[in-house]
Amino acid sequence: MYIVKNALRSITRSLSRNILICIIALVIATSACIALSIKQSSATAKDNALKQINVTGVISINEEKLQQQFAPSSSGSSSTQRKNMRTQMSTLESGLSLTNLQKYAKASSVSNFYYQISSSMNGSGIDAVDTNQGNFSTSTSPTSTSSSSSKKSGEFGGENGGGNSNAPKMFAGMGQQGDFTVIGYSTSKAMTDFVSGTKKLSSGSMFTFDGKNNSCIISDQLATYNSLKVGSTITLKNPNKTSGTAETYTFTVTGIYHNSESSTSSSGGMSFGASSNTANQIYTSYTALNNITTTSTKSATTSKDDQGNTTSTALRSQVSGTYVFGTEAAFNTFKKQVKTMGLSDSYTVTSPDITSFENSIKPLDTLGGYATIFLLIVLLVGGVLLALINIFSIRDRKYEVGVLAAIGMKKFKVASQFVVELFIVTFVAIIIGTSVGAAVSVPVTNSLLQNQIAQQTSTASSINNNFGYRGGQGGPGMSSISQASTNTNFVKQVQSATDLNVVMELVGIGILLTLISSSIAIIFISRYEPLKILSNRD
């Protein structure tokens, strides 16, 4: 085709004009490549992260709704309100019994279900590790007990923090807070920190799930502090039984674990008392702990305080279930299924994995949004510039158009030649631009991402500083929201940004730009009167 030959010759013979077009196209291509790469890496990171996460869900009381219901503005004295709220809470909690939770586990979307029970106990003869106080406090210390008992509902919030922690929620206001948190698991799968490797057995072996002998594992910190070894026995007592014979339970330590994460939740103002220190978590089987709480309830006595609140000496416990899903979609299906299965609006189904995943992707997402805007601006400005250059160059080239028309070259072919020229120049620019863009897009994306993360972290921490108190007061739900943002493991790096998708999109942009800019040439050529060649000699 002589058109291509002519086009190539025309490019080399008017280098300055074509270099100018090439530079502009190069800038567009490079910027577009970076912008598209950022978008792409955001999408890729999302996909990959979604594939990797094990989607789990929990059913919990809809804290927000409860908060609204008992908002401070509503009438009634605060004590009555609190009482009402407590009643409501306990009613709702009974709705989350194991039997009920197991009922929802039958939903078709659930691929696995496991559960755990947790309780708060004091030590007898062993001391709790308490780094929050700057020293170690003993379980029997009156300050510790009084400080914990003086706190209202939100005090257990600290336990929920940190995304990774699988410590169950403790709904409070119903008893004394002990220094140790004892958690009983239904299966080893439920021990997600051990599955993920955050916690590891450093000596001994795992407790048995059959519940015999009350076997348990403890943290290495607790073991060191109390000089405990594998095979030692520990005695825990019911913190609610303040009078009479102490209600004690004995556990055999079968293993000692090491927690590779910081043992306390990091957000300031969130941790209260020793029980929030994960070093004071004692793990056992569901069966063992369930037996203990059942026994305790049987032997409990109830009394009424001066405000008319009924209190029981029974060991408080909290059952929570975790539903495992194959995909995010299954989780969303589950949300609908439980509604039809009769779960009321007072409960909410959440997935800590998806929430933390969504938080982790936030900076990248924001960046992707900026990238899109940036891309549009670059395309607009670049497109206008290219069009202008083409308007000027076509005026220069009208003589050429005239000659070609006069010697019988069809307008269609003249236009094709001009389009081919622009295509060649634009594509050279796109090839160079893509290479440059691909080379710099990873470092550029990563450094922009760091800025975004820094920004989001500071926003989150200022929210925490400003509203941290409220979070503490507001209950576990509130505090877990603000904590999630500080403790989120953001996606901090992207590996490769430019992929085939990006290249294809760039080719598309190239075609678009060429068509836009050459459309001016085409219009000019199609309206050209060959006769003008005789009157216009310039």
Partner 1 sequence: MSILSLDNVSYFYDGTKKNVLENISYDFDPGLIYAVVGRSGAGKTTLLSLLSGLTNPKKGSILWNEKDINKLNKYTYRSQYIGVIFQSFNLLPNLTAVENVILSMDISGKKFNNKKQHALELLGKVGLSEDEAHRRVLKLSGGQQQRVAIARALSYDPEIILADEPTGNLDLETQDDILDIFSKLAKEENKCIVLVTHSPQVSERADKIYELIPLKGTRPKSDQQSNEKIG
- Count the Cβ atoms, other than its own, within 10 Å of residue 471: 24
The footprint of partner 1 on this chain (CB under 8 A) covers a number of residues equal to 24
CA distances from 422 to 371, 385, 414, 512 (A): 27, 14, 13, 11
Residue labelled with tokens 């991402």: 449
Sole binder of partner 1 in the list 10, 37, 56, 277 (CB under 8 A): 10
User: Interface with partner 1 includes 9 (CB under 8 A)?
Assistant: yes
* β-bridge partners, 282: 182
Residue labelled with tokens 């295509």: 423
HSE of 462, CA atoms in CB hemisphere, 13 A: 5
CA distances from 201 to 155, 180, 227, 405 (A): 29, 19, 17, 86
Sole binder of partner 1 in the list 93, 328, 400, 499 (CB under 8 A): 400
User: Interface with partner 1 includes 469 (CB under 8 A)?
Assistant: no
User: Interface with partner 1 includes 406 (CB under 8 A)?
Assistant: yes
CA distances from 261 to 254, 415, 487 (A): 22, 67, 12
Are 348 and 324 contacting, i.e. CB atoms less than 8 angstroms apart?
no
Nearer to partner 1, 2 or 469 (CB): 2
Name the minimum Å distance from CB 20 to partner 1.
17
Nearer to partner 1, 454 or 531 (CB): 531
Nearer to partner 1, 107 or 420 (CB): 420
Alpha helices in 53-130, H assignment, sequence order: 63-69, 78-94, 98-104
419 SS3 class: helix
Name the minimum Å distance from CB 16 to partner 1.
12
- Count the Cβ atoms, other than its own, within 10 Å of residue 499: 15
Nearer to partner 1, 245 or 535 (CB): 535
Name the minimum Å distance from CB 12 to partner 1.
9
User: Interface with partner 1 includes 398 (CB under 8 A)?
Assistant: no
496, amino acid identity: S
Sole binder of partner 1 in the list 69, 88, 98, 530 (CB under 8 A): 530
Name the minimum Å distance from CB 402 to partner 1.
7
Sole binder of partner 1 in the list 218, 394, 404, 525 (CB under 8 A): 404
Residue labelled with tokens 């005239």: 402
Nearer to partner 1, 380 or 403 (CB): 403
Longest dimension (CA), the chain: 119
**Candidate segments 35-43, 148-156, 267-275, 399-407, binder of partner 1 by CB under 8 A:** 399-407
User: Interface with partner 1 includes 291 (CB under 8 A)?
Assistant: no
User: Interface with partner 1 includes 71 (CB under 8 A)?
Assistant: no
**Cα Rg of the chain (Å, integer):** 34
Q: Between residue 410 and residue 449, which ones bind partner 1 under the rule CB under 8 A?
A: 410-411, 413
Name the minimum Å distance from CB 386 to partner 1.
22
**Candidate segments 1-9, 116-124, 201-209, 427-435, binder of partner 1 by CB under 8 A:** 1-9
- Count the Cβ atoms, other than its own, within 10 Å of residue 337: 18
**Total residue length of the chain:** 538
Name the minimum Å distance from CB 427 to partner 1.
22
Name the residues that contact partner 1, by CB under 8 A.
2, 6, 9-10, 13-14, 400, 402-404, 406-411, 413, 529-531, 533-535, 537
